[in-house]
Copies of this chain bind each other. A is one copy, B any other.
Amino acid sequence: MKISAQEEYGLRCLVQLANLQPGESLTLPQIAEREGISTANAGKLMWLLNKAGFVHSTRGTKGGYFLARPASEVRLNEVIKVLDQDVLNKHCESYTGVLDSCVHNGDCGIRPVIVGLHEIVENALSQITLAQLVGTESSVDAMFHQIKGIHRTLEAQRI
């Protein structure tokens, strides 16, 4: 269970744009330099995000990228879904094994785990907006702990 490079860098690029003042924009070389990735790579990421409608772009001199929506209205689960090539949902069909579908079709004890995990992650991500990621690390961390705090309570009860 890990976050893919595309998910992470795509999100990072969006955060860079979220840091801008209204009216400002960033070019590909600027984004690439600020995140320490190549311009070509940033280009592909931004192309994805543009296609998905998260950013707008202007061509030509003085062009660049800027957020299409206010950062406070962009939830992280939407972003991740786009960057992850939508392979998350339909798990049982795209089975890597020899068989076409999962051998446990009909009554499967694994499916709830896979699906449930994705739901938990999605739910956590849906509670975070881009705007919440522009602050200092400690403020972001504190925000995140509100979500995790609920879990700790549950765990404490269980023991």
Q: Which residues of A contact B (CB under 8 A)?
A: 1-5, 7-9, 11-12, 15, 34-38, 76, 80, 84, 87-88, 95-99, 102-103, 107-114, 116-121, 123-128, 133-137, 140-141, 143-145, 147-148, 150-152, 154-155, 158
Copies of this chain, tallied across the complex: 2
On chain B, the residues within 8 Å of A158 by CB distance are: 127
Contact of A134 among B109, B118, B150 (CB under 8 A): B109
On chain B, the residues within 8 Å of A128 by CB distance are: 113
Given A109-B15, A113-B144, A144-B113, A1-B121 contact (CB < 8 Å): yes
Task: Decide if the interface of chain A is mainly helix, strand, loop or mixed.
Answer: helix
